[in-house]
Every structure is written in structure tokens, then in C-alpha cells.
Structure 1
């Protein structure tokens, strides 16, 4: 005796093995994608996505190696200074926060919040 069930994803009738759940690999893949989209985003993914966005923004604005940009321009793009990968302290005592190879330092000049953007250099290696 053969049991006929329906595909979990597309609801088409299944033929073949009795424990079959999907009619083809495309339905299985689409179902798994749909299930993953319904789950809340994991903490790791939230952090990773923000780091990637921060790096993209810093790279976009830092074309010259060292640039000063208003902080409002970066935050408007979605930049979040609370997400960084490491830091570097220069001889003056300024602490640059880095997102991979792109760094930033928050400054206030004439009441305007700005970021000094730099790119990682070989001499910045911490001992």
C-alpha cells in the first residue's frame, strides 16, 4: 500500500518513498530559506552585518588615506561607532578605533562633531 502525501512547500502530491517531504530539491531549498527568514536574526549576524556596513562606509569616505568628515554624514549612512574590531593608540594618546583596516577618531571642532578617518599602516603594529 502506498501513502500519498503533499509537499511541505508547494502542496503538490508526492510520489515515491513514503517518508518523502518535498517533491524536488528546489522546494526543499525554498522551504529552508523561508524558515530561516522567519527566525529572529542571531546576535552574531547583527554584529557582523554592522561591522561590514561600518567598513563599507569608512572605505567610501576615506579615499585619500586621511580625511576629516562630519559625524552626521556617517551616521546618516548607518555608521555605528560602537562596533569596531580593534584600536590603536598613537604617541599623542589619541585612540583610533578600527573596523578591519579603516580607523576613525571622534573629534569636536568649533562645536561640530567630526571623525578623523585613517587607513591602517605598517608602523601601527602593536608590540
Structure 2
């Protein structure tokens, strides 16, 4: 007696074993991919994706080692300053937030928000 008579993905009639659910590996893979797409994005994936995007943007804009960029430019591209991996406090007491090896600090100059972007240096490990 067959448990399921049709493929879960393409609805073709199944041949072979009685407990078979899919007609081939392609249908099995496609069905599982479709199920995964319907699930909400996991928290870990959201955090990881945002960290990757933040790092990519910081790397892209910081070509000179230390650069100042308008905050609205980064935010329009999806940058979120709430996602970072660690921080570093300099001797003046300024706290730089880092996404892996690329860091930033928010500044307000002439009523406009800006980010000062830096790159991790060996002397920061102290």
C-alpha cells in the first residue's frame, strides 16, 4: 500500500517504493528549497548578512586608511551602525566600533552626521 501517490513537488505519479515522496532528486531538492524560502529568515542569518554588508560598505568607502563619509550615504546603501563585532577606545576616550578590521565612529559637523572610517592597526591591540 502506497503512503503517498504523487510527488510532493511536481505532482507526478510515483513509481517504485511505497514510502517514496519525490520522483527524483531534483524534485526533492526543489521542494526543500521552496520550503526554506517560505520560512522566516533566522536571526543568525539576519545578523550575519548585516555584518557582511556593513563590512563590505566600510571596505568600499575606506580606501585611504582614514576617511570621512556622510552618514546618509552609507545608510542609503543599507549600513546599520547597530551591527558591529567589537570596539576600540583610543587615548582621548573616543570609542570606535569595528566590523572585523574596519572601524567607524559617528561625528556631527555643521549639523550633518558623518562617519569617520578607519582600519584596524597593530597598535590597537593593547
| Structure-2-length-normalised TM-score | 0.95
Q: Which runs of 4+ in 1 moved over 6 A?
A: none
Gaps in structure 1 of 5+ consecutive residues: none
Tell me which residue corresponds to 2:23: 23
Aligned residue pairs total 125
* Cα distance in 1, alignment partners of residues 113 and 40 from structure 2: 35
Deviation at 1:112, TM superposition (A): 1.4
Q: Within 5 Å, which residues of 2 pair with 1:1-127?
A: 3=2, 5-126=5-126
Whole-angstrom distance in 2 between the partners of 1:8 and 1:111: 59
Q: Which runs of 5+ in 2 are unaligned?
A: none
After TM superposition, the score normalised by the length of structure 1 is 0.94
* RMSD, aligned CA: 1.2
CA distance in 2, matches of 1:125, 1:29: 46
How far did 1:104 drift?
0.2
Offset, 1:46: 1.1
